[in-house]
Amino acid sequence: MSGGRRAAVRESSTEAGARPAVARSGWAAGSGPRPGRYRPQGQGPAQSRGMPPLLDSGGTPEDPVPDLSALLEGPLGPLVLLLAAAVLLLLVVVALLARQVGGLRRRVDAITRGADGRDLAGVLEAHLDKVFAVSHRQDAVEDRAKVLERTQRRTVQGVALVRFNPYEDTGGNQSFVLAAVDPDGNGAILTSLHARNQTRLYGKAVTGGVIDGQGSAEEDEALRLALARAAGR
């Protein structure tokens, strides 16, 4: 009887010791962990599937980081090397262009330097000042030219002299007609009649190319020549 009691006590103690383990683990008898509930400590879902750790996966700082040599050995390696070579080539080209630009700038400064040692900006400013001064002088000259044009219309520009002999007893064509007119045909005619014992002078006004009063043939001829000269013909 003592042996049977001891076996029953052992079985009951074994069952009693197994129950707390089931309660602690939360597993039913003969079943595994529930999906989505069990996760080993220190591992995220990515590590449980054999994938590299993510930033928010709860991985430790000792997780491996992709190496640069591994990246170059991959499919992006030739592209990275090509881009690096292109950048290096561009840097060399930029350095050469900067050197050429510096040389050209020094040459331009030497060529465009004025007699007083000023640079191109100073030379251009002096040139612009001269241009403005010439422009002002040109305006002044144009104004004076307009005044002169208005004035010269009233000046004598056509002069003609016709000599003749009005008397039969005198010779040498000592008598004459002098006509003086402006471009508008305004002026005067001076007639001189020479005789043996006297010389007479007559003056007549001319308005708009017409003699005031009756004119002789010599006076008409002198006026015609004077008007032609005043008109530039």
pLDDT of residue 116: 67
Residue 196: per-residue pLDDT:
83
Identify the pLDDT of residue 98. 94
| pLDDT for residue 71 | 58
Tell me: pLDDT of 36 over 70. Answer: no
Helix 77-112 to helix 120-152 angle (10° resolution) is 50
Q: What is the distance between the alpha carbons of residues 174 and 164, in angstroms, rounded to a whole number?
A: 7
pLDDT at 176: 94
What pLDDT, in 10s, does the model give residues 55-113?
Answer: 444 555 555 555 656 656 666 777 878 888 999 999 999 999 999 998 888 887 777 77
Cβ pair 205, 212 in contact under 8 A: yes
- Per-residue confidence (pLDDT) for residue 233, from 0 to 100: 66
Structure tokens at 102: 């510096």
Q: What is the pLDDT of residue 88?
A: 94
Q: What is the mean pLDDT of residues 180-192?
A: 93
Q: What is the pLDDT of residue 46?
A: 45
Per-residue model confidence (pLDDT) at position 73: 64
The pLDDT value recorded for residue 173 is 84
**Cα 145 from Cα 137, distance rounded (Å):** 12
pLDDT at position 22, please?
42
pLDDT of residue 15: 47
- Length, in residues, of the chain: 233
Which residue did the predictor score with more confidence, 232 or 60? 232
Work out whether the CA dihedral 116, 118, 124, 129 comes out positive or negative: negative
pLDDT of residue 13: 47
Mean pLDDT score, 166-177: 83
Whether 154 has a pLDDT exceeding 90, the answer reads no
Highest mean pLDDT, choosing among 33-37, 54-58, 108-112, 209-213: 209-213
Whether the pLDDT of residue 33 is over 70: the answer is: no
Q: Are 185 and 207 in contact (CB under 8 A)?
A: yes
Residue 119 has phi, psi (to 5 degrees) of -80, -175
pLDDT value of position 123: 75
Q: Name the residue with higher pLDDT: 29 or 223.
A: 223
Q: What is the pLDDT of residues 9-32, one digit of tens each?
A: 455 444 444 444 444 444 444 444
Share of the chain above pLDDT 70, in %: 65
- Cα gap 175→193, rounded to integer Å: 5
Structure confidence at residue 38 (pLDDT): 43
Strand, coil or helix: what is 58? Answer: coil
What is the C-alpha separation between 35 and 38, in angstroms, rounded?
A: 7
